[in-house]
Structure 1
Amino acid sequence: MLPTWLTEEYLEPRLRTYYKDDQLKVLKIWAKPATEKGQNYMSLMTRIHVEYQLSDGLVQKTSYIVKQALSENVPQAKVFVEYDVYNREIYMYEFVLPKVKELLQEAGLKEKITADAIAVDREYSTMILEDLSEYNYVNADRVKQLDLAHTKLTLEMLAKFHAASIVLRQRHSEVLSKCFYTHFFSRDKQGYTEVYTGVFGAFLRFIDEQPDLKQNYGNKLEKLQSFIMEYVARTFEVNKEEELLTLIHGDCWTTNIMFQYDDAGNPKTAVAIDFQFSNCTSPAIDLHHFFTVSLREEFQDMEAELVDKYYSDLKANLEKLSYTGLFPSLQDFRLQFERRRFMTLLSHLFKPVIIYNGSEVTSDFSSLYKETEEGLRFQKSIHASEIVIRSSTRLLAILDGKGLLDLQ
């Protein structure tokens, strides 16, 4: 259903500006939801179809994605407002991503890395974006997760975005306002503490039902619960004298990446969507989150090789962008990546819902972390799979072996 304010009269001047055609006339608009129920907790997504006529008389039909902030009466909206996620994403699409695109194109890196913004509107907390399906971009299967080909394309896309963002900070630091230096684990923010401690509580209940995991890690995890926000906050801190600092995507996982395919069905390009959690920190944060929740089990042991590939791509892109600042050796970057290993535990807390394919559906974000009747039922359901057990077992063994389940 179209928002009441989204009329032909509203859209027409915005399309005229975007297409640089002051005679463009919008003939018709109709709409349908862009996501299924339970697939998006952060915003309202609508796909609008538009028929318009250009100044030369040619009639075009295309579609756009309208992304709106949640209304204030939705419970999770208060959490997101504290972190300014809606204004942050609007700012990304209006100012930052066009600059990133410009820098990449100047360096000869012309491949699309995200959708263009047709228009942004702060009054309605809304963006009208290109519909990437018009370019034959589609999402991969979040349940099956990504194979090696999809993973490498995603890393190549991230290496371009991160490289351009590093140069953006160097040449146009004023573009990155103070909002990009806050995140869900910022010590002066409290809203997301309930979310993460609640999701961690659901994870502890899952551990209690797994005898081997409970015996090996139960006591350590219970002691860890009250410290997780502080420990992750430390992973976001960057030593600017030694480590790379860039603008990261902030929520890089399967559903926030779209792919184009060749005629044989092989992925050939990747783009990112949803930049509401972008912030300035180590690029390793994006890598850890992506590997933890999106990489198929059979490729998890290739992490070191994939980190090296990302490093090589990032270095090559920075050279094309004529970057002149700090760039670490491969060994130093591996250390930078390893220092942020604790991030994988927090990312893993959301993996059960990300790969869930059962019948329990909820549009209430709080069902992920609150101990209500519906919440406990939903949390139990999403943890009830062999892949969650296997991935939890593997991750906890790695973290415990590195001493990261011990209090620091």
Structure 2
Amino acid sequence: MLPTWLTVEYLEPKLRAYCKDDQLKVLKIWAKPATGKGQNYVGIMTRIYVDYQQGDGIVQKKTYIVKQACSPDVPQAAVFFEYDVYNREMDMYEFLLPKMKELLQEAGISGKLTADAIAVDREYSTMILEDLAEYKYINADRVKQLELAHTKLTLDLLAKFHAASIILKQRHPELLTQCFFTHFFSRGKRGYTEVFTGLFRAFLSFINGQPELKKSYGQKLEKLHSQIMEIGAKIFEVGEQDLQTLNHGDCWTTNIMFQYDDAGKPETAVAIDFQFSNYTSPAIDLHYFFTTSLREEVQDLESQLIVDYYNALKASLEKLSYKGIFPSFKEFQQQFDSRRFMSLLSHLFKPVIIYNGSEVTSDFSSLYKDTEEGLRFQKAIHDSELVIRSTTRLLAILEDKGVLDL
């Protein structure tokens, strides 16, 4: 359904400004939900269909995505408002992303980063965005996860995004307001403490149901439970010598869209959903992406993927005429390794990301609360051979690298 305020009279001046056509006339608007139940916990997505007539008389039929904040009365709303996710994303689409696009274009670096914003309306906590489906961008399968070609395109996109953000901070530091230095593990914030400790409790419950995993890792994981928010805060901290970039903040399969050639091969990638973007080490984005979104055989190529990303980032910064400190590859590898705990924290979301069963919830808190519905949903999403296998693989790596030792 269309929001009651989204009328022809509301939309027409917005489209006139975006299309730079003072004679444009909106003829008709109608709508459909853009996501199914349980696919988007953070907001309400609506695809609107708009017929409009240009000043030259040509009639266009376009679709746009309307993205609204979730209602204040849904259970997860308090968490999202505490972390300022809606203002943050509106700032991204209104100020930061257009400036980053401009910087890349000036340097001759082609390709879209994301959808353009037609309008950002803070009164209604709403954005009207380009519909990337019109450019034939689609999501890869979150359950099957990404193979190598999709992974490399995403790393190139992240490198471009991170590079542009480094220049942005140098030239327009005023755009990076306080919300971009807030993250899941920010000290003094409370909402995500309940989320992550609840997710970890569900994870421990799963581990305790797997005799071999419990025997090998149970005690160490139990000890970590009360420490995860503090460890999370530490890995987000950056020193003067650390590479610092604006991170996407939620870089997983469903937040990346791909264009394909006629043979079905992915050609380009763009990012969507910037509610959790924050300024920290780019290693945070990489760990989150590698853990949540890559097939096992691609995860096995981690050392080469880090080289690919590092080289792409360096090349983009050279094109952008960056003159600041840039780490050697060995230094960057150390910065990446020192934040490996992020892969365990990211893994807490993996069971729901790759879940393909019939248990559905539209309540974000079902992921972490020990209510009857929550416990049932948590059991359902962990009950999978793929979850067992990926957990076994990850814990073996973390144990080998000493990450599970307090």
TM-score (norm 1): 0.99
Corresponding residue SS for 1:75: coil
Corresponding residue SS for 2:202: helix
Partner of 1:338: 337
How far is 1:284 from its partner?
0.5
- Which letter maps to 2:348? L
Partner of 2:46: 46
Give structure 1 regions of 4+ aligned residues with deviation exceeding 2 angstroms: none
Partner of 1:56: 56
Question: After the TM superposition, which residues 232-381 of structure 1 pair with which residues of structure 2 at under 5 Å, given as runs?
Answer: 232-240=232-240, 242-381=241-380
Partner of 2:211: 211
Corresponding residue SS for 2:56: coil
User: What are the superposed Cα offsets for residues 75-104 of structure 1, whole Å, 9 maximum, x if unpaired?
Assistant: 101000000000000000000000000000
How far is 1:149 from its partner?
0.1
How far is 1:301 from its partner?
1.1
Corresponding residue SS for 2:112: coil
Question: Within 1, Cα distance between the matches of 2:184 and 2:250?
Answer: 11
Partner of 2:153: 153
Question: Within 2, Cα distance between the matches of 1:302 and 1:406?
Answer: 25
Corresponding residue SS for 1:127: strand
User: What are the superposed Cα offsets for residues 264-291 of structure 1, whole Å, 9 maximum, x if unpaired?
Assistant: 1000000000001000000010000000
How far is 1:4 from its partner?
0.4
Partner of 1:142: 142
Partner of 2:19: 19
Question: Within 1, Cα distance between the matches of 2:298 and 2:356?
Answer: 21
- Which letter maps to 1:8? V
Gaps of 5+ in 2: none
Question: Within 2, Cα distance between the matches of 1:370 and 1:124?
Answer: 30
Give the fraction of aligned pairs with identical amino acids, expressed as a percent.
76
Question: Within 1, Cα distance between the matches of 2:366 and 2:179?
Answer: 28
Question: Within 2, Cα distance between the matches of 1:367 and 1:178?
Answer: 30
Partner of 2:2: 2
How far is 1:397 from its partner?
1.0
Corresponding residue SS for 1:80: helix
Question: Within 1, Cα distance between the matches of 2:333 and 2:401?
Answer: 15
Question: Within 1, Cα distance between the matches of 2:223 and 2:314?
Answer: 40
Do residues 114 (structure 1) and 89 (structure 2) align?
no
- Which letter maps to 2:372? E
Gaps of 5+ in 1: none
Corresponding residue SS for 1:10: helix
Do residues 390 (structure 1) and 389 (structure 2) align?
yes
- Which letter maps to 2:3? P
Partner of 1:162: 162
Q: CA RMSD in A?
A: 0.6
Do residues 223 (structure 1) and 223 (structure 2) align?
yes
TM-score (norm 2): 0.99
Corresponding residue SS for 1:87: helix
User: What are the superposed Cα offsets for residues 317-365 of structure 1, whole Å, 9 maximum, x if unpaired?
Assistant: 0000000001000111111110110000010000000000001000011
How far is 1:388 from its partner?
0.4
How far is 1:110 from its partner?
2.1
How far is 1:297 from its partner?
1.0
Question: Within 2, Cα distance between the matches of 1:289 and 1:316?
Answer: 23
Length, aligned pairs only: 406
Question: Within 2, Cα distance between the matches of 1:301 and 1:70?
Answer: 38
Question: Within 2, Cα distance between the matches of 1:34 and 1:233?
Answer: 34
